[in-house]
């Protein structure tokens, strides 16, 4: 028979190893973020800079994150507000920085130069740069790791379960953040009564985007400039990767087929010079209101997981960064105080977001239900008359309002009404669609005012939600009638 005698030193070493393992298993991280895209990396970065321990879980391999879409646009003023390192067009992650854009009327008669500050970025190189920055600030990044489910104690979140190549892991955290994108894998797995809506995105809740990377075969023949929009079709020519190249993009709700048909209708109306399609990409972005609350006990959702997007363009990255700045301030303050992060302690994230940017976005989403009904002739009149873009003073280029809202002075309001009446008299506008626009604008104002009164306490939340639901139910479906398809915007 084999036997082995343990001396006191061996026993003490074994006990020490067991204690160390137990400490490791129950290690408490300040913040666990699910998703290493633009939302999760930014929030993780600013929290780490504030001295908090952060772990980011990502299902894809490090080299594959962001591969679905190559080129994206950031609003340059938001990049500066976010405090990110400046972009350099000579570096791999930045294609160019622009300060103007062109909008073309659907009758193709008029080009309108607009002041739009945009930084054109290659997504994967940008994310890889961010990962290096995060790791230098002690953020733990874990790739090829799948979120499985939440860990609860006394019906409250205390951590997450994940898996990596079949290995199961548990991480305890003071806060779990869903930054997993449109799948919203954490938010949709919450208990129904946890305080944050668990809806999934259906076909009418997203804009389906088709991108063709093209190269002009005869670049000497006049063709659309890069960063030219044909808003009637929700179609644009964006900057691409090489000389004489562009990205032909289109977005529509309902299906990729709707987007394809809208592009087909556009191409049947315009006389473009020949081009070669180098590659194609597709994806979708949220097109609906966010959850009424972004927070619950030890939980926050951000980015596409929270349906945070600018309604007029579908851009969501920099909009989420503004939410992250709000969230980081509240989270840092509460983590330093210690104790469990209840919904009430995180509630100021809701208040500060929905009373400002959230209210503006809600109003813009509602206004679209009036604007998108217009036909080509009406849309052309709106653009030529300066009813969509502010015209500025003297020779100043028009620009979309930098704060994402149309705040008209009395003089501007009188001018707006005069142009509407003029359009009706000249039969450039139909009375039916003008009525729809005015009703949508009125409802947008009511919704904006309601969001600006977002309750300061969670105790007053449910009555606020009840009223918000009544307002959103008044929002009408817009219908765009193209030559080959009718598209509904719900």
* pLDDT for the residue 117: 86
Domain ranges within the chain, ordered by starting residue: 22-65+125-201+288-353, 204-286, 361-489
pLDDT in tens, 398-455: 444 444 455 667 887 788 889 999 999 999 999 999 999 999 999 999 999 999 999 9
Cα 314 from Cα 301, distance rounded (Å)? 18
- Between residues 486 and 390, the one the model is more confident about: 486
Q: Assess contact for 179 and 299: CB atoms under 8 A.
A: no
φ, ψ at 356 (rounded to 5°): -125, -100
Cα 281 from Cα 278, distance rounded (Å)? 11
* pLDDT for the residue 69: 81
Cα 66 from Cα 35, distance rounded (Å)? 11
Q: State yes or no: pLDDT of 14 exceeds 80.
A: no
The owner of tokens 């622009």 is 98
For 217, half-sphere exposure in the C-beta direction (CA atoms, 13 angstrom radius) is 6
pLDDT in tens, 274-303: 999 999 999 999 999 999 999 999 999 999
Looking at domain 204-286, which CATH architecture does it have?
Answer: 2-Layer Sandwich (3.30)
Q: Assess contact for 160 and 187: CB atoms under 8 A.
A: no
Mean pLDDT in the chain? Answer: 90
- Between residues 408 and 209, the one the model is more confident about: 209
pLDDT in tens, 29-53: 999 999 999 999 999 999 999 999 9
Q: State yes or no: pLDDT of 209 exceeds 60.
A: yes
22-65+125-201+288-353: CATH topology is FAD/NAD(P)-binding domain (3.50.50)
* pLDDT for the residue 411: 80
The percentage of residues in the chain with a pLDDT greater than 90, rounded to a whole number, is 80
φ, ψ at 401 (rounded to 5°): -55, 125
Mark 297-311 as b/e (b = at least 16 C-beta within 10 Å): bbbbbbbbbbbbbbb
pLDDT in tens, 299-315: 999 999 999 999 877 77
3-state secondary structure the chain: CCCCCCCHHHHHHHHHHHHHHHHHHCCEEEEEEECCCHHHHHHHHHHHHCCCCEEEECCCCHHHCCCCCCEEEEEHHHHHHHCCCCCCCCCCCEEEEEEEEEEECCCCCCEEEEEEEEEEEEHHHHHHHHHHHHHHCCCEEECCCEEEEEEEECCEEEEEEEEECCEEEEEEEEEEEECCCCCCCCHHHCCCCCCCCCCCCCHHHEEEEEEEEEEECCCCCCCCCCCEEEHHHCEEEEECCCCCEEEEEEEEECCHHHHHHHHHHHHHHCCCCCEEEEEEEEEEEECCCCCCCCEECCEEECHHHHCCCCCCCCCCHHHHHHHHHHHHHHHHHHHHHCCCCCHHHHHHHHHHHHCCHHHHHHHHHHHHHHHCCCCHHHHHHHHHCCCCCECCCCCCCCECCCCCCCCCCHHHHHHHHHHHHHHHHCCCCCHHHHHHHHHHHHHHHHHHHHHCCCCCCHHHHHHHHHHHHHHHHCCCCEEEECCCCEEEEC
* pLDDT for the residue 389: 64
pLDDT in tens, 67-86: 888 899 998 989 999 999 89
* pLDDT for the residue 10: 53
Q: State yes or no: pLDDT of 27 exceeds 70.
A: no
Q: Cα dist. 188→76, 174, 267, 275, 341 in Å? A: 32, 20, 39, 43, 20
Q: State yes or no: pLDDT of 200 exceeds 50.
A: yes
pLDDT in tens, 93-113: 999 999 889 999 999 999 998
Pick the most confident of 343-352, 373-382, 384-393: 343-352
pLDDT class of 378 with cuts at 50, 70, 90: very high
Q: State yes or no: pLDDT of 25 exceeds 80.
A: no
Q: Cα dist. 352→187, 325, 452 in Å? A: 21, 10, 9
Q: Cα dist. 362→181, 376, 448 in Å? A: 20, 26, 6
Q: State yes or no: pLDDT of 8 exceeds 60.
A: no
Strand 167-178 versus strand 299-301 pairing type: parallel
Q: Whole-model pTM? A: 0.91
* pLDDT for the residue 285: 94
């Amino acid at each position: 028979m084999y036997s082995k005698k343990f001396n006191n030193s061996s026993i003490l070493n074994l006990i020490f190893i067991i204690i160390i393992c137990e400490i490791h298993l129950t290690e408490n991280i300040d913040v666990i973020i699910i998703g290493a895209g633009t939302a999760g990396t930014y929030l993780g970065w600013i929290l780490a800079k504030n001295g908090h321990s952060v772990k980011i879980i990502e299902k894809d391999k490090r080299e594959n994150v962001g591969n679905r879409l190559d080129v994206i646009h950031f609003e340059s003023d938001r990049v500066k507000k976010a405090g990110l390192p400046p972009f350099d067009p000579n570096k791999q992650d930045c294609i160019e920085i622009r300060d103007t854009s062109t909008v073309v009327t659907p009758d193709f008669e008029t080009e309108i130069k607009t002041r739009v500050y945009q930084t054109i970025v290659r997504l994967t190189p940008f994310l890889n740069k961010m990962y290096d920055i995060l790791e230098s600030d002690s953020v733990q990044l874990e790739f090829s790791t799948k979120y499985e489910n939440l860990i609860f104690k006394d019906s409250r979140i205390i951590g997450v379960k994940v898996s990596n190549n079949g290995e199961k892991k548990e991480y305890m955290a003071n806060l779990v953040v869903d930054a997993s994108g449109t799948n919203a894998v954490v938010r949709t797995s919450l208990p129904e009564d946890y305080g944050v809506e668990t809806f999934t995105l259906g076909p009418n809740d997203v804009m389906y985007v088709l991108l063709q990377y093209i190269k002009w075969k005869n670049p000497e023949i006049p063709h659309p400039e890069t960063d030219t929009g044909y808003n009637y079709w929700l179609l644009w020519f964006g900057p691409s990767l090489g000389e004489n190249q562009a990205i032909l993009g289109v977005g529509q709700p309902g299906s990729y087929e709707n987007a394809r048909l809208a592009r087909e209708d556009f191409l049947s109306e315009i006389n473009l010079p020949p081009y070669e399609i180098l590659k194609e990409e597709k994806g979708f972005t949220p097109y609906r209101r966010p959850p009424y609350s972004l927070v619950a006990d030890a939980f926050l959702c951000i980015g596409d997981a929270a349906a945070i997007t600018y309604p007029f363009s579908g851009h969501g990255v920099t909009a989420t960064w503004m939410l992250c700045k709000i969230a980081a301030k509240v989270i840092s303050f509460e983590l330093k105080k210690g104790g469990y992060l209840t919904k009430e302690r995180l509630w100021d994230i809701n208040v500060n977001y929905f009373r400002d940017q959230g209210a503006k976005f809600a109003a813009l989403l509602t206004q679209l239900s009036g604007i998108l009904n217009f036909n080509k002739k009406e849309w052309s009149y709106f653009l030529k008359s300066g009813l969509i873009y502010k015209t500025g003073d003297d020779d100043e280029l028009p620009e979309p309002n930098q704060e994402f809202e149309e705040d008209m002075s009395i003089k501007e309001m009188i001018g707006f009404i005069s142009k509407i009446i003029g359009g009706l008299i000249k039969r450039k506008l139909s009375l039916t669609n003008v009525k729809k626009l005015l009703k949508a604008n009125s409802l947008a104002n009511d919704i904006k005012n309601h969001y600006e009164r977002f309750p300061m306490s969670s105790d007053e939340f449910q009555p606020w939600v009840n009223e918000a639901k009544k307002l959103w139910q008044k929002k009408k479906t817009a219908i765009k009638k193209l030559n080959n398809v009718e598209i509904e915007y719900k």
